[in-house]
Homo-oligomer: A and B are copies of this chain.
Amino acid sequence: MPLGTDYARQDCSLARALEIVGERWTMLILRDCFLGVRRFTDFQAHLDISRAVLSARLEALVADGLLTRTGSGHPSYELTETGIALWPAMFALLQWGDRLTTPGAPRRLYRHVGCGDLGPDGRCEACGRHPAPRDVEARPGPGADPTLRDDAVSVALRQPHRLLEPLALR
């Protein structure tokens, strides 16, 4: 939260959640984690964020237990179970944004691997379950705009890819 003040005097779980993930850039960093981004430079190029801010956010996310940082030479950031548990919230928000801003043309499509596509409520249209992100594959949808960015991550995201698996960059 900007400006020092937080939501400490709100007796509310939403306020608690937002104190952790409500800061600018934080949710987008976590989104990238779900999409398979793991390296500092890849986050930075894809988000177009300053290194200082990225560094601070990653550090906070590790301290709050949503990310692990492994490998001192070339660190890799990965979601913990706590971070992965954010998936339903992230998916719901993402779907809301999609339907609000580009009705009928989702920017990205999600599929229960080996089963069916996910509906707006996150349920697999074939089996009716809510698959865990590990069992979900993402791919560009009709609303995607490939002209917006062309960093390595954005290019890699144009191929179908399984969530939480490291992206195939080059």
Select the residue from A15, A47, A146, A149 with max chain B CB neighbours within 10 A. A15
In the assembled complex, A116 has its CB within 8 A of some CB on chain B: no
In the assembled complex, A75 has its CB within 8 A of some CB on chain B: no
Determine the distance from Cα of A10 to Cα of B46 in the docked complex, in whole angstroms.
8
List B contacts of A149 (CB < 8 A).
9-11
CB pair B82–A86 under 8 Å, yes or no, is: no
Partner of A14, one of B18, B28, B121, B130: B28
In the assembled complex, A52 has its CB within 8 A of some CB on chain B: no
Nearest chain B residue, comparing its CB with the CB of A15: B28
- Segment of A36-44, A89-97, A160-168 in the binding face: A89-97
Determine the distance from Cα of A12 to Cα of B146 in the docked complex, in whole angstroms.
11
List B contacts of A20 (CB < 8 A).
97, 100
List B contacts of A1 (CB < 8 A).
24
Determine the distance from Cα of A93 to Cα of B85 in the docked complex, in whole angstroms.
10
Nearest chain B residue, comparing its CB with the CB of A97: B17
A17 to chain B, nearest CB (A): 3
A22-61 vs B, CB cutoff 8 Å, 1 = contact: the mask equals: 1010011001000000000000000110000000000000
Determine the distance from Cα of A86 to Cα of B96 in the docked complex, in whole angstroms.
7
CB pair B28–A10 under 8 Å, yes or no, is: yes
In the assembled complex, A106 has its CB within 8 A of some CB on chain B: yes
Once A14-B31, A48-B9, A145-B11 are accepted as A-B contacts, the answer to whether A99 and B85 lie under 8 Å apart by CB is yes
CB pair B22–A7 under 8 Å, yes or no, is: no
A50 to chain B, nearest CB (A): 11
Once A89-B93, A92-B89, A121-B88 are accepted as A-B contacts, the answer to whether A100 and B17 lie under 8 Å apart by CB is yes
